[in-house]
Structure 1
Amino acid sequence: MNVTLIGIDLAKSVFQVCAVNQAGKPVFNRQVKRQRLLALLLEYPQALVAMEACSGSNYWGRTLQRHGMDVRLIPPQHVKPFVKGNKNDRNDAFAITEAAQRPQLRCVPPRTLAQTDLIQMHRVRERQVNQRTALTNQIRGLLNEYGIVLPQGRRRLQSALPGLLEDADNELTPEARVLLEELLVEWHQRDAAIDRLDRRIDRQAKGSDAAQRLMTVKGIAEKTATALVAHAGDGRAYRNGRELAANLGLVPCEHSSGGKQNLGGLTRRGNTYLRRMLIQGAWSVLRNAHRNHDRLSCWARQVAERRGKHKAVGAIANKMARISWALMYYQQSYRPA
């Protein structure tokens, strides 16, 4: 029987490969070691290869595309409903083939190497920022045990620490001072690492035409622009700007029945990191809208007057995502009328 579709349950060393024919019936469903996987897939050059969009899927997608094969990366939440029986590798691989046959399935293209470099830098930076936040919270907790409470703000805490360590009148013991000095050194190391990543992201933004076009939009700077390019590429994975906004969780959630439509707050699905950056950029647009007279700022003021600031910020972030898609898809410069 001819193999028309191959579903792969990805792993580190041993992959589960399920091949089905045109009728959707399994031809084989077996384990394949990593060094044998590519050779097996190349035996069926006309088959469609489907995988879950997870760690390693972009590498295999790029590799198979270089060999002229058709590849689909399926979001894991679209595969889960097709898992029958107990969860195991055989059923997971067959579920991938079932999901890949759905006519309305939305897939994602494999990331390019340039996109992968950008997104990895953002992920490392996000981890460093989270660890720095945890470090500052721990320092505040330690100081509170000695009766020292400082105003909110990372910069205020950092500037006050050297004086606290030199002050002999507070209740800090010698052991506590040594511990806080070590934490302060670690804090400086985190700051230096984040600064290095920021400079590298800025260099990537300056060297990318797509990022330069995105940075002409209010509320979008180097980090947001490079994150958008890393996530959406040239925008051709989405049919329109609304699809990108929906993918980022910037559209209203819906709970409708019986012909009655009920819309709620933002769905908050998809890329949390990029959605947070767009929301922060939207706050910047709204705060400065009263001193600007471009179309986006005027529209932001009107929405804020009608619906309030918080709903306006969600609407502005949605519009920023749509504008960004248009700039990436059509490769044109932003024209703020």
Structure 2
Amino acid sequence: MNITTVGIDLAKNVFQVHGVDERGKASLKKQLKRAQLLPFFANLPSCLIGMEACGSAHYWARKLKEHGHTVKLMAPQFIKPYVKTNKNDVADAEAICEAVSRPNMRFVPIKEGEQQAVLGLHRARQGFVKARTAQANQIRGLLAEYGIVIPKGIGYIARRLPEILEDGDNELPDAFRQLIERLGTHLKELDRQVDELDAQIQVWHRGNDASKKLEKIPGIGPITASALVASIGDAKNFENGRQLAAWLGLVPRQNSSGGKQTLLGISKRGDTYLRTLLIHGARAVIRVSEHRLEQANGWPTRIVDRRNKNIATVALANKNARIVWALLAHESEFQPDYSVAAVAV
């Protein structure tokens, strides 16, 4: 049984395997339990293995590579067109096996354990930030029912809550006063969790040369830099900076036909978290540039003069994504006054 290509439909406990030989003829259709997967592939000659980039895919990819196999991950939306019949595990495994052998298929870089750990910190932090915002809004809404309005901004809640709870003239019932105190304590705990995760990310950032390099780009701080380095991995997997920007969903979405080019808003594909960080950072740069004379003639200001601020913000985020690729792919340092014309001369 000379198997050259294998598709694995991943699951929690039961895995479906489909393999073909060098002529493309199906020679392996097998269902494996979780404990049987690695021993089975340890005894299989080295071959090309394809999997969907889903939960646990990076773990299995690393394990299978240790046994000498070539492993490639693909986005699920690129595999769906190869499913010939109704969706089931057998059809999915066959589609994965077919898709991985396509010469023009796009693959997902396999993440190392450290990359996943850093991204885990970011995802946990993001969850705590969302929970903190929701808790703050709940406190604000409950107090508004009693005619107590707190100004916008999460910082005002922590400052105003003690005086609201101690004020005996606001006619708050005792049960409600105890509830607000409980919610305020919970808000402080969420804030503490965010600060601790921020500190852990900062520690990793200071120990990573690539992350510190990206921090020098205006609009990119330690949080964004560490998330980008952990997500991108080897920047040479992308052909150019525009491909990285497209991967982040920062390029125009097309609806072209009949030779007529129609460009719409940004595609918003890829990682929403990374795109959000880049756009928020770009928005901060534009806001600061409006109040600094030395940046009055800068690139972001010139864009704002021609278009609105939101378009300028996305344009700067796109530009920063391309700069990130250039610094990581060419292992160079950020130069604020860099110009292609100067280098050519």
Q: Which residue of 2 aligns with 1:36?
A: 36
Q: Which residue of 2 aligns with 1:106?
A: 106
Q: Secondary structure, in 3 states, of the residue corresponding to 1:288?
A: helix
TM-aligned CA deviation for residue 287 of structure 1 = 1.9
Q: Which residue of 2 aligns with 1:254?
A: 254
Letter in structure 1 aligned against 2:204: Q
Q: Which residue of 2 aligns with 1:153?
A: 153
Matching of residues 1-337 of structure 1 within 5 Å: 1-290=1-290, 291=292, 298-337=298-337
Q: Distance in 2 between matches of 1:66 and 1:213?
A: 31
Contact residue 8 and residue 96 of structure 2 kept, 8 A: yes
Residues 181-212 of structure 1, C-alpha deviations (whole Å, 9 max, x = no match): 11111111111111000011111110000001
Contact residue 50 and residue 96 of structure 2 kept, 8 A: yes
Letter in structure 1 aligned against 2:95: A
Q: Which runs of 4+ in 1 moved over 6 A?
A: none
TM-aligned CA deviation for residue 45 of structure 1 = 3.0
Q: Distance in 1 between matches of 2:263 and 2:245?
A: 16
Q: Distance in 2 between matches of 1:132 and 1:203?
A: 23
Contact residue 295 and residue 301 of structure 2 kept, 8 A: no
Q: Distance in 2 between matches of 1:246 and 1:261?
A: 17
Letter in structure 1 aligned against 2:240: N
Residues 198-246 of structure 1, C-alpha deviations (whole Å, 9 max, x = no match): 0111111100000011011111110000000111013122111111110
Contact residue 41 and residue 67 of structure 2 kept, 8 A: no
The sequence identity of aligned pairs, in percent, is 47
Contact residue 3 and residue 22 of structure 1 kept, 8 A: yes
TM-aligned CA deviation for residue 121 of structure 1 = 0.3
Q: Distance in 2 between matches of 1:177 and 1:288?
A: 41
Letter in structure 1 aligned against 2:117: D
Q: Distance in 1 between matches of 2:293 and 2:282?
A: 14
Q: Distance in 1 between matches of 2:228 and 2:294?
A: 26
Question: CA 1:144/1:263 → structure 2, altered by over 3 Å: closer, same or farther?
Answer: same
Q: TM-score, normalised by structure 1?
A: 0.96
TM-aligned CA deviation for residue 331 of structure 1 = 1.4
Q: Distance in 1 between matches of 2:106 and 2:295?
A: 35
TM-aligned CA deviation for residue 293 of structure 1 = 5.3
Letter in structure 2 aligned against 1:163: E
TM-aligned CA deviation for residue 138 of structure 1 = 1.4
Listed as ranges, the gaps of 5+ residues in structure 2 are 338-345
The answer to which of 42-51 and 5-14 deviates more is 42-51
Contact residue 233 and residue 328 of structure 1 kept, 8 A: no
Q: Distance in 2 between matches of 1:24 and 1:128?
A: 49
Q: Secondary structure, in 3 states, of the residue corresponding to 1:236?
A: helix
Residues 22-67 of structure 1, C-alpha deviations (whole Å, 9 max, x = no match): 3333212221011111121223332101111111111111112222
Give the CA RMSD over aligned residues: 1.6
Question: CA 1:107/1:287 → structure 2, altered by over 3 Å: closer, same or farther?
Answer: same
Q: Distance in 1 between matches of 2:298 and 2:24?
A: 54
Contact residue 46 and residue 68 of structure 2 kept, 8 A: no
TM-aligned CA deviation for residue 294 of structure 1 = 7.6
Q: Distance in 1 between matches of 2:150 and 2:214?
A: 39
Q: Secondary structure, in 3 states, of the residue corresponding to 2:148?
A: coil
Question: CA 1:49/1:294 → structure 2, altered by over 3 Å: closer, same or farther?
Answer: farther
Contact residue 147 and residue 171 of structure 1 kept, 8 A: no
Q: Distance in 2 between matches of 1:11 and 1:254?
A: 35
Q: TM-score, normalised by structure 2?
A: 0.93
Q: Secondary structure, in 3 states, of the residue corresponding to 2:298?
A: helix
Letter in structure 1 aligned against 2:269: R
Letter in structure 1 aligned against 2:161: L
Question: CA 1:192/1:310 → structure 2, altered by over 3 Å: closer, same or farther?
Answer: same
